[in-house]
Structure 1
Amino acid sequence: MITLFWLLFVCVIYAYFLYPLLLIVVGKYRNNEILINDQEYELPSVTLLLPVHNESDVIEAKLSNIESLEYPDNLLKVILVSDGSTDNTVEIIKNYETDLNLKVIVIENQQGKANALNQGMNEVNSSIVVFTDASIMLDKQSIHKIVEPFSDNNVGCVSGEDHIPANQGGEGLYGKYELFLRNKESKIDSIVGASGSFYAQRTQLIKPFEEGLAPDFLSVLNTVNAGYRAITQPRAIGIMSASKSTSNEYNRKVRTLLRGMAALFSNLKLLNAFKYGWFSVFLFSHKLMRWLVPFFLLILLISNYFLIDQFVYKLLFSGQLLFYSLAIVALPQNSKLNNTVIGKIPLFFTIVNLAILKAWFLFFQGKRQEIWNPTKREEN
């Protein structure tokens, strides 16, 4: 029982602490950071592809944001796909048709995000496609910045960085942690996940999207499988707010995780480190190990209970109970702990791991997330 306890303890610590340390150490000896020469790089043609569903509360701000982007008009095309919107999203969009180089595709009955993306891809004739969501507001130089790494012919996919203010709950803190990992992975080899709200890919590498598979994750996997690198561009910035409620964040996580699991299990060959090197290590550590943490935690708590007669294990058991108690106390929106680090971190960590458990349950039931409902976020 003692061996089991410490084995599980090390697995949890590895997933969240030792893996980042591994990236830091490896990064000191292996640096494949892309060097960009702004003077010699010829700007590519770009399509900005934006799928939407009932986004009337943010679509006008998003279109104004697109209008402010600094990229040559003759090289930028915007394709907006409304996937069965039942509010006035389409009416708002049509007010901008003449002001933007905008192609609007209206799908009457909602068929899912993958179908919306595929419909949009049918109209693409540029060398680069930038995928974005309605909820993220892009820096005016963000298109310039996100296409710069494509000056290296080995780069096939580039992720932007979505910044959530750290004062907007645990999601903002967790976002900073994820960006740290992504930057380290990018400098060594390839990232294992792009920002679903803002990323770019070479058109030649884009395969038809499949319902139930995370589009952004699948784009990275397809890129690496084709022999190209997927990297992050810290200077391509988008700002987004945290989810409006804990339940919204939980449901979003379940959807994202379920799609991610389906995408990974469709590409298990990428876990072959003999062929894919460090990327396989990253994929195993950053994704699969993280997704196994809830099971580690559950068995850890149970095994800890059977060792409780020893002082050190009694202390560790009490620590676990305190951590989860803080999460419960911080759960109500009006909780004072909700706005403090000692409340935000336990709450978000617990929500994430409960979402992983729910996603595994749905995955093994054979269920897939096909219909798409964008997460409602706080107003900026």
Structure 2
Amino acid sequence: MGSPRVAVINSDLLQQRILAESLERLGFEVVLNVPAARMTLALIRETQADAWLVTVRDDDEVCGESFDSLLDGEAPVLVGMDDAPDNNCTSFLRWEKKLLTKLRDLTDTPAPAAEVSQVPWAQKQHREILLPAVFADDTRKLPLHIFVLGASLGGPEAVKEFLDVLPEGLPVAFVYAQHIDQRFEQALCQAVGRHSAYQLKNVENAAVLAAGEVLIAPVSTTFDLVGLDRISVGTSPWDGPYGPSIDGVIDVVFNHARQRFGCILFSGMGSDGAESISALPEGTDIWVQAPEGCGNASMPESAIHTGKVTFVGDSYQLALKLVEHLKEKWTENYERKPDHQCG
């Protein structure tokens, strides 16, 4: 069996070179290494790849039809992997190990026996998160909780890891605010939701946000939640330099959900989200991805500095925390006996 074949789409010449060198050193065959502007339908069809490694920047000229075709293809696509640091940087080895783990998972490539002692992280397997029995027969549509998922650089990868391990059937809905170019707003559903039991969907006016769904916050305009979790599309742009504004999304969801509200911030640049978090009541469920595992740690670090964060963990730990949290809340609301019935 030959080496797994990887196609690279990246418009940064330095990143192209580093990726090619790393992939070859890690035992992969680089069958394509081109900028985003060359990602055409014809090129996608003629490239025989076991996996695609795609980085698209705001100023890249990309054909949306080509990108959609790539996501709909049989070969898995890794989108949102953070840029490689300089190979003299102390974090380079950690980045390279992360890349290797991701591509091995995508291509079902086992780690050679000789590597087990050198890279034990490649053998790490998260145990399955099971659906708590209390939710097994739940048929209600309205979610017990609505959690905001906020992310920027490196976010799609981390959010995908989080959603992929969640068991189907939890009474929760998500509103996902991802800094992204508007051209890829529709494609984000496919890239992040590819293996998830949770349905990712773009905003539709008057649609109802149901349990088991992930609403992609619109990039260009605001939205609101009204009544029984009904979506109302706005016409005003978001405040701030990025769309969607994570601060704005937090405000919208908290003002609607109140006691059902929660927020998880993942990898990202900047401090978007920290201002709104600072204004939330003490004890609000505000969790962040552990900074040491982020492609860019400034967003979760800014949230931590507010003093309002109540849990820190990697994507798997955050998913496990959510399952346990929902079970606890369900028990409090629906199963715990009143005090006068005790004894």
Asked if TM exceeds 0.5, the reply is: no
Greater relative CO, 1 or 2 (CA 8 Å, sep 6+): 1
